[in-house]
A = this chain, B = another copy of it.
Amino acid sequence: MLDALFKPRAIAIIGASNNPYSIGNIVIRNLLEHKFQGPIFPINPKGGHIQCLKAYKSILDVPDEIDLVNISVQYKLIPSVIEECGKKGVKFAIVHSAGFKEVGEEGIRRERQMVELAHKYGMRVFGPNSQGVQNADPEIMAYANFTFVPMKPGNVSIVAQGGGMGELLKLHLHKVGLGHRMYASYGNECDLTMPEILEYYGKDEGTRVIMMQTESFKDPKKFLEVASRITPHKPILAIKAGRTREGSVAVSSHTGTLVDQAAMATAMFKKAGVVQFYDSDEMIKTAIAMSMQPIPKGRRIGIITNTGGPGIQAVDTAVDSGLELSKWSDEGRARLKASLYAEASLGNPVDVVATAGPDHFHAAVDTLLHEDGVDMVMVYFVTAPFVDLPAIAKRLKDATTGADKPVVCVVCTIDKWAALIHQLRESSIPVYEFAEDASRSLAGMSRYHALRARVAGELRSDLGVDKAAATRLITAYQGKDEYMSQMDAFDLLAAYGIGVPKRAAIKAPGDVAAASAKVGFPCVLKVESSKVIHKSEAGGVVLGIGDVKALQSAYDAMRGKFGPEASLLALEQKPAGREVIIGATEAPGLGTLVMFGLGGVFVEVMKDVVFSVAPLTDREADEMIGGIRGEAVLKGIRGQAGVDLGAIRDLLVRTSRLAADFPNVVEMDLNPILTYPAGQAPCAVDVRIRVR
């Protein structure tokens, strides 16, 4: 339990000083200024007073029990400090000090020693190289952190790896008059981990929204597990930093190089139902909306303006953000007509016109909120000098209070009328400066709704895989870190019910007849040898072999060319089909990521691929298929029949299960898989599988 960290009954500050620029001093000032509800004990070897508080020479001299210490002494002094804290029975140590993992090997060793020492006393370590924690619960008011944004109670909890980004997130809540709930900037994460903090926020009743920023995942699996438990009842908004798209999708269609940390984060977020953001301002503005307004139950937006041009801009930005424009019912339209000026536009956006007064705004918002086809409302308001602003704000409050759909405002005004903005925000209506911000915030909320509303997928239990056969095949390669032979690889896929061509090894001329009986015609003859990299160019693939004689002569030629050591393989030749690729790659700390895309240029040029965490449910497989831009190609275009999407789903599920069942299968590349209209099973005609 993290109560001792976030709800400490007493805090000691080790490294307390009267130097106003020292971390120890700033933490004390922050605690005092924000009226921490427990005692604060500065620790300084010289004793005396720090600010208004008596300082103790050692924590062991403190008369009370201490839950939490903030440590900002030099790293060299840390072992002795930890020792003393342990003896005192301290439960949590926030280590601000640097000089650990971030400086390399020696720092990592220091971290390990510090944690071992702390654990000896049952104490946990937060950090090091961290900024600290805050809890704005009015009964706690712990600002155990050395930053500068003032704290007031709110319902958004924040967890950020770095202090600078954490501060930015707090700052922009503060700027719109919102506080936050809990805050943690966890730095090096040597002991207490981000998922533990997340879990604590998830259980905290005062936390309505969680915002997180991370540069790395120390324990991706734990993160996935914890986040998945939280998102059904509480939104998590997340940014994975350091994901420059430059590096995120490499040019090759080779699965291994397509997987990276950014793709892993996106796959985890999607699986866990976390709303991912790339822009910090967009995440913050969505958190603000979620903090004040209910989550929409769809993505249909109704827009109300009092001037035309901004209404058009609002429509453009809403559609860009993935929202749909609502249509009103005849009744709704009639009500708008009856309530608004004759010059008003009654479409979407509703233009109530510049002279509209309080009751016009009320009627417009109230009407849209009662429309079945409206999931959310944006009001774009340019202040006019001839209307009663406080009354408009009041009537907007009346219309929105208790509504189960979100309403956000864009207000275009100057300082002299800024009271309007405060009045709206006091009424729990978010106010933005631009239609872009309002649209993206509403879209962010609706993305959360869509994630939460997903049908709970179940892992299929009817796959009927032959795990024993698969185990036998894989065990032969265990520990070798090399590619399976084509025959073994096809057999492995077949054991998991994945369609592969009929196949037969031809070791000697005498095998040709039996092989052709097995694979039929037309068939393909292929060489497999670690010496032959570009098979086709080297003459190692012969297609369209039509009869035994042709197979025999192809065999003779290839054997002559590649020698007695090369494996030669006859394969059933499948008819041309729509190509797709399924890949699987080890994602360290998480398991395996499955990749899906169309073949060729769609992957190489269009970078049109998606990743998910194995194993996949049917729903997740469907999401992958629907997640590529090229889905329309699979569904059939220009009058061509579509391919069997259910069969592709089945392949994805089976491949993901295979990857999940055998973590030492670190790479699979089914490329291409030929797919066909319903009734004809897809077939993975080329495959590479690497076992560690």
Contacts and interface: CB of A to CB of B under 8 A. Distances in A.
A239 B317 CA distance: 12
A311 B164 CA distance: 9
Interface stretch (A434-442, A511-519, A545-553, A657-665): A434-442
Interface stretch (A366-374, A421-429, A484-492, A601-609): A601-609
Contact of A630 (B174, B213, B601): B601
Interface residues of A, number: 68
A107 interface: no
Contacts of A150: 414
B279 A241 contact: no
Given A281-B436, A604-B638, A307 B163 contact: yes
A171 B414 contact: yes
Contacts of A244: 315-316, 319-320
Interface string A291-322: 00000000000000101111111011101100
Contacts of A165: 309-310, 313
Nearest to A252: B638
Contact of A164 (B308, B386, B629, B632): B308
B21 A309 contact: no
A34 interface: no
A442 B359 CA distance: 44
Contacts of A412: 164, 167-168, 171
B601 A241 contact: no
A219 to B, nearest CB: 20
Nearest to A172: B433
Given A21-B386, A309-B160, A386-B21, A242 B316 contact: yes
Nearest to A315: B244
A533 interface: no
A162 interface: yes
Contact of A278 (B320, B414, B601, B604): B320
B309 A215 contact: yes
Contacts of A20: 385-386
A534 to B, nearest CB: 9
Given A309-B213, A316-B242, A414-B148, A601 B637 contact: yes
Interface string A403-416: 00000000011100
A140 to B, nearest CB: 22
A383 interface: yes
A280 B435 contact: yes
A668 interface: no
A382 interface: yes
A334 interface: no
Contacts of A243: 316
Given A148-B385, A320-B245, A309 B163 contact: yes
A246 interface: yes
Centre residue among A21, A148, A315, A604 by max chain B CB count within 10 A: A148
A413 B174 CA distance: 11
A508 interface: no
B637 A174 contact: no
A433 B162 contact: no
A172 B310 CA distance: 14
Contacts of A413: 148, 171
A145 interface: no
Contacts of A148: 383, 385, 413-414
A600 interface: yes
A632 B167 CA distance: 43
Nearest to A262: B316
B281 A164 contact: no
Nearest to A240: B316
A255 interface: no
Contacts of A436: 279-282
A166 B632 CA distance: 41
A645 interface: no
A161 interface: yes
A168 B606 contact: no
A581 interface: no
A26 interface: yes
B437 A281 contact: yes
Contacts of A215: 309, 312
A305 to B, nearest CB: 8
B246 A319 contact: yes
B319 A245 contact: yes
Contact of A307 (B21, B162, B280, B434): B162
Interface in A612-639: 629-630, 632-633, 637-638
Contacts of A315: 242, 244
Nearest to A434: B281
A434 B241 CA distance: 14
Nearest to A320: B245
Q: Closest 7 CB pairs between A and B?
A: A162-B309, A21-B386, A164-B307, A165-B309, A244-B319, A164-B309, A164-B310
Given A278-B316, A279-B317, A605-B629, 13 more contacts: A20-B386, A148-B383, A148-B413, A168-B412, A171-B412, A171-B413, A242-B315, A242-B316, A244-B315, A279-B434, A281-B434, A281-B436, A605-B633
18 contacts: A148-B414, A161-B309, A162-B307, A162-B309, A164-B309, A164-B311, A165-B313, A168-B412, A168-B434, A174-B414, A241-B309, A244-B316, A245-B320, A246-B319, A280-B435, A601-B630, A604-B632, A605-B637
